[in-house]
């Protein structure tokens, strides 16, 4: 059986769902093809700091009501170096901007609900998704669903299928321009239904390794510890996690930290990756399928959203004004922002983590860099304006 749509979207993560909803609201037909079930997609725990541009786009997609109700507005963020606590007034140093703390899982759920209300089509539990003739005027997607082989004809394909997806792999290898950096450590995350230790996020550099105190709500905390990339989840338990966290955060916070059972515990590797070939023929790569950043700058979801914004504005220009001449602008616009976020995420990671290869000299330089940035107006402005998100170029 063959279906037909204007934009075929591969992947129902935040990128695919956000693009799908924006297109639907603009009257552009789209179908999402997703490998997993909706429950599986919602079971993935990811970051939760939204820049203003991401918040605006979620509202434009019609999925902002619960975020506006439950999201926590953060006008500052905290840092600690060897237990010494520093507050950074993000609003003051970014011209009055703020970020919104609202979990990616909730964003995804709100987008799924809105899509259902609009009668949007998402085909879950698909197998063997393949992209065909992406260089031609008649690209199509084939997949298996409920034991049947199916075909989806379309004008364009949006590759929103994450780092391990099939879309990027459909571009000929000799056309891919890729850059990668793998860090020699990972983040061990723990989620618990305990009140957050601080009313703002706390990024902690310590000689034992980095730690982050984050949250999902006023009753749910999310904490992370830097761990060697050789560590396995079996090497850790809740008690060991809480003990280690207390050693890395400011002593006053360690005293008031409320511990409790873990709802989730997992280790994620840290990597920077950029595929500069973000568009090839009729295929557009969007979000994690094109780039990965280490989570230290809280940029993953925000970068995905800014790709979605660019792709969406482009599709509107194509379908409403026939502006196919703007297609090459997609990756130019995206990459300008991607590389700046890649730089910021790499810089925050380098500033705050303990590298196994670092010498005593390196540690002193790291300490001096932290001192400089956190005590200088220019330094604080630099962190704040990147943290709230840099602006996006216009398509034309």
Question: So which residues are the catalytic ones?
Answer: 74, 203, 295, 299, 387
Dmax (CA) for the chain in angstroms is 65
For position 209 contacting ligand PHB by CB under 6 A, the verdict is no
Q: How far is the CB of 54 from ligand APR (least distance, A)?
A: 10
For position 154 contacting ligand APR by CB under 6 A, the verdict is no
For position 209 contacting ligand APR by CB under 6 A, the verdict is no
Instruction: Name the segment binding ligand APR (CB under 6 A); options: 209-217, 258-266, 296-304, 375-383.
Output: 296-304
For position 54 contacting ligand APR by CB under 6 A, the verdict is no
Q: Which of 8, 13, 134, 272 binds ligand APR (CB under 6 A)?
A: 13
Residue 85's φ and ψ, nearest 5 degrees, are: -90, 130
Instruction: Name the segment binding ligand APR (CB under 6 A); options: 4-12, 110-118, 366-374, 376-384.
Output: 4-12
Q: Which of residues 102-131 bind ligand PHB (CB under 6 A)?
A: none
For position 48 contacting ligand PHB by CB under 6 A, the verdict is yes
Query: Rounded to whole angstroms, how far apart are CA atoms 86 and 249?
Result: 12
Number of neighbours of residue 113 by Cβ within 10 angstroms: 14
Nearer to ligand PHB, 49 or 67 (CB): 49
Nearer to ligand PHB, 192 or 296 (CB): 296
Q: How far is the CB of 99 from ligand APR (least distance, A)?
A: 14
Binding mask 70-109 for ligand APR (x = CB under 6 A): ----------------------------------x-----
Query: Rounded to whole angstroms, how far apart are CA atoms 295 and 188?
Result: 12
Q: How far is the CB of 101 from ligand PHB (least distance, A)?
A: 7
The one of ligand APR, ligand PHB, none whose footprint includes residue 227, by CB under 5 to 8 A per kind, is none
Q: Which of 53, 120, 159, 165 binds ligand APR (CB under 6 A)?
A: 165
Nearer to ligand PHB, 281 or 294 (CB): 294
The one of ligand APR, ligand PHB, none whose footprint includes residue 48, by CB under 5 to 8 A per kind, is ligand PHB
- Tell me the two tokens of residue 83: 């237990």
The one of ligand APR, ligand PHB, none whose footprint includes residue 49, by CB under 5 to 8 A per kind, is ligand PHB
Binding site for ligand APR (CB under 6 A): 10-16, 33-36, 41, 46-47, 104, 126, 129, 160-162, 164-166, 287-288, 300-301, 304
Binding site for ligand PHB (CB under 6 A): 47-49, 201, 212, 214, 222, 295-296, 298
């Amino acid at each position: 059986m063959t279906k037909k749509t204007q934009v075929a979207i591969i992947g129902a993560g935040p990128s695919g769902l956000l693009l799908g909803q924006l297109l639907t609201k603009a009257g552009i037909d789209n179908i999402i093809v997703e490998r997993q079930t909706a429950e599986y997609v919602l079971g993935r725990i990811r970051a939760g700091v939204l820049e203003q541009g991401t918040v605006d786009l979620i509202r434009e997609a019609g999925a902002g009501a619960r975020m506006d109700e439950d999201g926590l507005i953060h006008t500052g963020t905290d840092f600690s170096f060897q237990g010494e606590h520093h507050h950074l007034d993000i609003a003051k140093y970014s011209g009055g901007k703020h970020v919104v703390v609202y979990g990616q899982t909730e964003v995804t759920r709100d987008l799924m609900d809105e899509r259902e209300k609009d009668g949007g089509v998402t085909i879950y539990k698909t197998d063997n998704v393949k992209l065909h003739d992406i260089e031609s005027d008649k690209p199509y997607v084939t997949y298996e669903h409920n034991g049947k082989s199916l075909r989806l004809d379309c004008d364009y394909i949006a590759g929103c299928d994450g780092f391990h997806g099939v879309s990027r792999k459909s571009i000929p290898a000799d056309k891919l321009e890729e850059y990668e950096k793998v860090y020699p450590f990972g983040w061990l995350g723990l989620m618990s239904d305990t009140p957050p230790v601080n009313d703002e996020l706390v990024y902690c550099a310590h000689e034992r390794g980095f730690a982050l105190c984050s949250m999902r709500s006023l009753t749910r905390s999310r904490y992370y510890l830097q761990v060697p990339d050789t560590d396995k989840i079996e090497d850790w338990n809740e008690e060991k996690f809480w003990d280690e966290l207390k050693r890395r955060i400011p002593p006053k916070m360690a005293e008031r930290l409320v511990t409790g059972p873990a709802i989730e515990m997992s280790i994620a590797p840290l990597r920077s990756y950029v595929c500069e070939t973000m568009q090839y023929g009729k295929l557009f790569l969007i979000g994690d399928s094109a780039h990965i950043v280490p989570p230290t700058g809280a940029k993953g979801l925000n970068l995905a959203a800014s790709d979605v914004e660019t792709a969406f504005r482009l599709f509107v220009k194509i379908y409403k004004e026939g502006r196919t001449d703007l297609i090459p602008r997609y990756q130019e616009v995206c990459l300008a922002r991607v590389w700046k976020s890649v730089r910021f995420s790499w810089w925050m990671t380098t500033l705050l983590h303990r590298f196994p290869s670092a010498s005593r000299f390196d540690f002193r330089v790291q300490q001096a860099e932290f001192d400089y940035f956190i005590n200088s107006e220019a330094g604080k402005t630099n962190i704040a304006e990147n943290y709230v998100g840099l602006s996006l170029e216009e398509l034309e």
